[in-house]
Amino acid sequence: MQAHPKLKISHLQKSFANGRSPVQVLDDINLEVGDNEFVSLVGASGCGKSTLLSIIAGLQDHEQGEMLVDGSPINGPGRDRGVVFQSYTLLPWLTALQNVEFALRETGHEAKDITEVAHRHLELVKLSRFADSFPSQLSGGMKQRVAIARALSYRPKMLLMDEPFGALDALTRGQMQELLMQIWQEHRLTVIFVTHDVEEAVYLSDRIFVMGLNPGRIKECIEVSSARPRPTGIQHDRETLELQARVLKSIREETRRVEFD
């Protein structure tokens, strides 16, 4: 890998207390994510991919192992890692614009340019027209776009996304993926993206980490070599389809192994 990874995780262990016998959910996780790299974590449900993301975000603790962002260890959540959750987390009493402003204010931006910066980020997700709408008036896709704008607005070093499009219909999901690609292309960010949608992972990522089950671990790392920018419809190219099949096979092997244990 690169000499200076953006994120480096070594020998990470995580278990949940379950009565007297703790359940190992993540076992010896080692991974590196390069600067401006887009990586996905995929795996069957229960593989711990969301837990891993939550640990990287600092929202859950872990027993052992080390996590370094830009070479310095991280402890707990911080402004260097922005998170987009699967559930809608826009504050319902604030408009789209005010939601972005809220994040900027809480992360200590200068008061005088908060509104301008917030507007700029709503423009980035193409929601300028809805700046004064409350979340209850926005569709699911729009809410997630505001959430992305909000997470990007305070310039974290890394964007952590936990199945952000999981609750959206297929059509909207496709549009969101394109939009995200576009933003990533233009602004260069390090993204860690959790999904169970293989097509989505292959379309978006530079590399895909397939996670194994029982206990959760990194089973395989698959490189996606298709050139960028990736045109829409690339999902149906032969090369892409073959890669999707390979990722899917890798995930299936795991579920089969566990089921027939």
Partner 1 sequence: MTLQTDTAVPKQTTRRPRRKPLLSMAAEISGPAYLLIAICAFLLFIAGWFLATGLGVAKPIFLPSPLGVIAKLAKLAADGTLASDVGNSVYRIMVGFLIASVMALATAILIGAYRFWEAAIEPFLDFVRYMPVVAFVPLTILWSGTGDIQKFLIIWIGTYFQQALMFKDNIKRVPSDFIGFGRTLGMSDLRVLMRIVVPSAMPQIWDTLRISLGWAWTWVTLAELVAANSGLGYRITVAQRYLQTDMAIGYILVLGVLGLATDQIMRLLGRHFFKYERKS
Site for partner 1 contains 106 (CB under 8 A):
yes
CB 105 within 8 A of CB 111: yes
Tokens of 169: 């219909």
Q: Which is nearer to partner 1, 97 or 213 (CB)?
A: 97
**In angstroms, what is the minimal distance from the CB of 14 to partner 1?**
17
Q: Which is nearer to partner 1, 153 or 177 (CB)?
A: 153
Tokens of 256: 């089969």
The string of DSSP codes covering 30-76 is: EEEE-TT-EEEEE-STTSSHHHHHHHHHTSS--SEEEEEETTEE--S
Region for residue 126 given its phi and psi (left: phi exceeds 0; alpha: psi -120 to 50; beta: otherwise): left
**In angstroms, what is the minimal distance from the CB of 16 to partner 1?**
15
Selected range binding partner 1 among 6-14, 37-45, 128-136, 242-250, rule: CB under 8 A: 128-136
Within positions 148 to 207, which residues make up the interface with partner 1, using CB under 8 A? 154
Site for partner 1 contains 89 (CB under 8 A):
yes
Closest to 63 measured CA to CA, from 23, 29, 11, 14 = 14
**In angstroms, what is the minimal distance from the CB of 83 to partner 1?**
5
For the chain, the farthest-separated pair of C-alpha atoms sits apart, in whole angstroms, at 61
CA distance 86 to 54: 12
CA distance 194 to 52: 9
Closest to 249 measured CA to CA, from 47, 42, 67 = 42
Site track 44-83 with partner 1 (rule: CB under 8 A), x = hit:
----------x--xxx----------------xxxx-xxx
Q: Which is nearer to partner 1, 5 or 135 (CB)?
A: 135
Site for partner 1 contains 134 (CB under 8 A):
yes
For partner 1, the binding residue among 30, 36, 87, 185 (CB under 8 A) is 87
Site for partner 1 contains 103 (CB under 8 A):
yes
**In angstroms, what is the minimal distance from the CB of 99 to partner 1?**
10
For partner 1, the binding residue among 2, 30, 45, 137 (CB under 8 A) is 137
Site for partner 1 contains 132 (CB under 8 A):
no
Q: Which is nearer to partner 1, 108 or 233 (CB)?
A: 108
Return the SS3 of 83. Answer: strand
CB 250 within 8 A of CB 222: yes
The residue ranges that bind partner 1 (CB under 8 A) are 54, 57-59, 76-79, 81-83, 85, 87, 89, 91-94, 103, 106-107, 134-137, 154
